[in-house]
Amino acid sequence: MSPSSAAPPLRIALLSGMILVLELAFIRQVPAEVRAISYFTNLMFTAGFSGMGLGCILQRQRSLAPALPLGLLLVFGFILLGRGIVIHADAAHVHYFLQYPELQGRARELALFPAAAAVFVFAAIPFVALGQALARAMDEHSRLVAYGWDLAGSLAGTLVFAASSGLQLPPWIWPIAVGFAWALVFERAVLRRALFALAGLPFLYFAFSAQESAWSPYYYVQHEKSAEGLRVYVNSSFHQLAIDWSDDSPEARGLQKVMLKRFGVPYDVYRDMHDGRAPRKVLVLGAGTGNDVQVALLNQAEEVVAVEIDPVILSLGRERNPARPYADPRVRAVVDDARHFLRTSGERFDLIVFGTLDSQVLLSSSANLRLENYVYTREALADARNLLADRGVVGLYYSVFQPWLYERIFATVRQAFGDQSMLIFDRESFLFNTVIVATKGENTFTGHSEILARYGHGLPASDDWPFVYLERPTIAPVYLKLAAVVAGVMLLAFALLRRLHPVRGMHAEFLLLGVGFTLVESSSIVRLALLFGSTWTVNVVVFASVLLTVFLANLSVLRKIAPPLGLAWAGLFASIALNYAFPLPLLFELGAGARALACAGLIGLPVYCAGICFSRLFERQPVTGYPLGINLIGAMGGGLLEYASMAIGMRGIWLVALAIYGLALAASRLSARRA
C-alpha cells in the first residue's frame, strides 16, 4: 500500500515529522562523525530540502519508496567510511581545524570537495521518497488544510527532536525510528515491511564506541583517560585535556610546570600591574573541563565564575577532572553562552579569561556561524571591558596557524582596548600557541611598537561581520565550488523533471518565496542568538516560533481573516526594510521581557507576512506537488545564498531577501496574468 492512499490528514503530520527528525539527525550526526563536514553543516539542510523538493515534484510518478532504505544505507556507509578520513582543503582564505585521526585508527585521505558532494547526494536520496509520499498525502486534501497539517507535523518534530537532544539521546535513533514508522504505517506486504524496518538498524553500530561518549545538545563528546589526565574529543576531534595536577611523577610535574606557566600569562601581567597581588575575582569563559579554573585557583583567586555552554563537558569537568576544580567552594559554574553572559552579567571582575573557545560546531543548520563567532567580535570584547574592574586584565588563549588570523584576533582586541593590548607568541602549540592580553585603565605595554605595527591593523571581526576564520570579506572558493555543483545538479534534475512531469508555468514565485524565507529565517536565528545567547534552547524556541507563526498565517488565510495579498506583500517589504534599518544595540538596553516582545514583533512580522503570501498563492494551485517541491528547492537555494553573508555581512542579507521577495512579487503577477 502506498502513502498516496492514506486518507487521514494525521498522516501528513506524521510524514512531515519524520522528515524533520531525520533531517535534524543527519545535521547532527554526519558532521560529528566526519569532521570536515562540520564546516558545511547547512549542507545537510540543503540536501534534505533538495530531496524533498524533487520527491514532491515526482508526486505523480511511480512510487519511489525504495529510495528511503537505500538512502539510509548510503548515509550510514558514508559515515562509517568517513570516520577515519583526514580531509584536506585549500586554506588560502578560510581557516580550518581539520580532522584528527586518533579516534578512528589509521587515516585515509580525501579531498574536501568530493566528500561534501558525495554526502549531499547520499543525504538527499531518502528525502525523495519522503517528499513524494508527503505530496501524495497532501494532494488528497484542500491545499491550506494539508499545509496546516504539514506545519503541525514539522512543529511536533522540532519539539520531539529538541526533547531528545535535551535528554542527550543520540541522533542515530531517528533513522531507525523513521524506518520502523514507515514500515508500520505505509507498508502492508510482510517483506516490504521487513525491508523498511531493517533499513535503519545499521545505525545501531554507533551505539558501540571505543571511548566513553555522550551526545550533548551541541556535540558528540568522547573522553578517555591518558597519562596526562582526561582527554576530551568533540565531533571526533581532540578538543581539550584536563590535566592531572595531582600526579607527582617527574613527567607529570614537568607538564604541570609548563602548562601553569603558559596558562599563567594573564595572571603574571595582573601581578605586574598590582605590585604582586593576585586577581581576587576571575571570570573564565569557555571553562570546559576546568583547566583554566584550576589555574585560577592555583593563582590564589578568591572567587572564580566558570561559564561553559555545554552541560556534558561541564559535567565531565565536575566528575572526571582529576583535580576536581569545580568542587572547590570558591568556584561557581554557570551554564550559558559566553557572549550572553558578558552582555547580561552585572558583576565586576579583576581578570577575564577567554579559554580556547573554538567550538567545532555551527550555530544552527541554516546559518554559517559557529557558536563562538559572536564571542570574538569587537562588541563582545567591549562587553568584556565593561565587566572589568579598574586596572583589570583580559586574557585570550588561541590556536593560530595563519598569519592573517593573528591580525584578525589582535586587531579585534585592539578595537576594544586600544594600545592597552599585547600579542604574545608561544613556542608550544599544544592546546594553544598564542596569548593576547589587554588591560583597562593603564597602558603597561610600552616598547612593543613592532607588534602593533605588524599585527594591529588587520580587519577586526564585528557583530555584522563575525567571520573570525575568514581572511577577508569574500565567499571562499570552496564554498563557491560546492554551491556551483549543488546548483548544477539541481538544475539538471529540474530540467529532467520538467520532461517527466510537464506542468503549465515555471512557478518561479514559489521558488523565490523559498529562497527568501530561508534568508529571513537564518537572519532571524542569528539576530536572536546575538540577543539571547547561542544556546540550543534559544535555537529551539526560534525554530518553533517560526513554524508556529507560519501555521497561524496559514490558519488566518484558511479562516478568511488574513489581510489581502497586496497588503501582505506591503507588510513583508516594510518589515524586512525595518529589520535592515533597525539599530540592534537599542534592544540591548531593554529588559529580557521587553526585548523578547520587541523581537517577536520585529522578526515575527516578516515571517507572518511571508506565510500569508505563500498560503494565498498556494491555495490557488490545482496540484500540491509541483509548487511545493519548487518552494522546497528554493529553500535549499536560500541556504546556499546565505553564504553571501561572508562577503556582505549579516545585515546585508536582509537586503538580499528584500530583492528576492521583490522578484517573487513580480513573478506572481506575471503568473496571474498568464493564468
Q: How many domains does the chain have?
A: 2
The label of the residue with cell 554551491 reads: 483
Which pLDDT belongs to residue 295?
A: 94
One domain for residues 25 and 166: yes
Residue 225 belongs to a domain: no
Q: What is the pLDDT of residue 501?
A: 63
Please check the confidence at residue 96 and state whether its pLDDT lies above 50.
Answer: no
d(CA 601, CA 585): 16
Query: What pLDDT, on a 0 to 100 scale, did the predictor assign at position 122?
Result: 96
121 lies in a domain? yes
Asked whether residue 395 is domain-assigned, the answer is yes
Task: Look at residues 332, 423, 343, 443 and name the one whose alpha carbon lies nearest to residue 384.
Answer: 343
Residue 492 in domain: yes
Average pLDDT over residues 376-391: 94
Among 49-58, 421-430, 499-508, top mean pLDDT goes to 49-58
More confident residue, 256 or 381: 381
- Residue 228 CA to residue 233 CA, distance in Å, equals 15
- Which cell is 393 given? 586584565
Does 527 have pLDDT greater than 90?
Answer: no
Tell me, yes or no, whether 234 lies in a domain.
no
The CA-based diameter of the chain, rounded to the nearest angstrom, is 84
520 residue type, one letter: V
- DSSP labels for 492-547? HHHHHHHHHS--SS--HHHHHHHHHHHHHHHHHHHHHHHHH-S-HHHHHHHHHHHH
User: 233 falls in which pLDDT band (50, 70, 90)?
Assistant: confident
Least confident of 10-14, 280-284, 465-469: 465-469
pLDDT confidence of residue 380: 94
* 236 in any annotated domain: no
- pLDDT at 94 (0 to 100): 45
What's the rounded Cα separation, in Å, for the pair 106 and 146? 50
**Any idea what the CATH number is for the domain that residue 276 is in?**
3.40.50.150
* Residue at which a domain ends, from 425, 455, 485: 455
Would 364 be classed as within a structural domain? no
Task: Report pLDDT for 366.
Answer: 39
Q: Do residues 478 and 446 both lie within one domain? A: no
Does residue 314 share a domain with residue 191?
A: no
Same domain, 564 and 648: yes
Q: Which residues contact 408 (CB under 8 A, 6 or more apart)?
A: 458, 459, 460, 461, 468
Q: What's the CA dihedral at 591, 596, 602, 604 to 10 degrees?
A: -170
Q: Note whether residue 494 is domain-resident.
A: yes
Of 422, 455, 488, the residue that ends a domain is 455
pLDDT in tens, 303-340: 999 999 999 999 999 999 988 999 999 999 999 999 99
More confident of the two residues 293 and 363: 293
- Residue 223's nearest CA partner among 315, 108, 343 is 315
Residue 409 structural domain:
255-358+378-455
- Same-domain status, 587 and 493: yes
CATH (domain of 38)? 1.20.1250
Cite the DSSP H helix spans in 58-111.
67-82
| Mean pLDDT of the 441-461 span | 72
Same domain, 124 and 187: yes
Contacts of 72 (CB under 8 A, 6+ apart): 126, 175, 178, 179, 199, 200, 202, 203
Mapped onto helix, strand or coil, the DSSP state of residue 671 is: helix
Please report which confidence band the pLDDT of residue 511 belongs to, taking 50, 70 and 90 as the band edges: very high
| Comparison of pLDDT for 239 and 185, the residue scoring more | 185
pLDDT digits (tens, 9 = 90+) for 3-44: 444 458 999 999 999 999 999 999 999 988 887 687 676 889
**Mind listing the pLDDT tens digit for each residue in 429-449?**
666 778 889 998 766 665 566
Higher pLDDT, 82 or 46: 46
Based on the fold, state whether residues 435 and 483 are members of the same structural domain.
no
Kindly state whether residues 185 and 281 are assigned to the same domain. Answer: no
pLDDT surpassing 70 at residue 216: yes
Q: Rounded to two decimals, what is the model's pTM?
A: 0.89
Are residues 486 and 570 part of one domain?
yes
Same domain (yes/no): 397, 423: yes
Same domain, 89 and 190: yes
Residue 38 shares a structural domain with residue 90: yes
Domain boundary among 399, 421, 455: 455
